[in-house]
Amino acid sequence: MSSNKNEKIRIIEKKIQFCSFYIADHLFGVNILDVKEIKDEVSITNVFHAPKEIKGFINIRGNVHLVLDIRLMLGFNKKKIDDLSRVVLFKQNIGPSFGILVDSISDMVVANENNIEELGNKNIINIDHNNFEIIKGICKLENELLLIIETKKLLEAVNKDNV
């Protein structure tokens, strides 16, 4: 068995890109590979008697998409749609034609996978514990924290609360 003392250990850093956005002055992000598109025209048709987390439907080029109100899912107060509001639509592999309403879009964030920590019991912000599982982790950026949302858990969270 030979060993070379001069041999360098190479650490491969896996970078992940996040589409980031604000909800109630907190920075959240989803894996950019899950995002289909971001819509700035937010004309949502309400669904009466639907669970509060369902904002309604949006028609994009003849395709109808369910829109979730992630503010309410996370336990924040309701907010009127304004000029900064956007709908983040997800790819079909995440779930059937749906997206989330966000307060505003921020920059794309690139983070080292090793810098992402599980949130665990740390309650950095006041998130509704019923939907705590949609937060995958937290990443410390230069000036703020990025809370990472597990996109595949979004529809599950709505269905769980309304079964």
Q: What pLDDT digit, counting tens, does each position of 44-87 carry?
A: 999 888 888 999 999 998 899 999 999 999 889 999 999 999 99
Q: Render pLDDT for 3-45 as a digit per residue (tens, 0 to 9).
A: 555 566 666 678 899 999 999 999 999 999 999 999 998 889 9
* Number of structural domains found in the chain: 1
Domain of residue 94: give its range: 15-161
43, part of any domain: yes
136, part of any domain: yes
Angstrom distance (rounded) from CA 148 to CA 134: 8
1, part of any domain: no
DSSP β-ladder status, 26-31 and 145-149: parallel
* Tokens matching residue 162: 């309304």
CB contact set of 63 (below 8 Å; sequence gap of 6+): 97
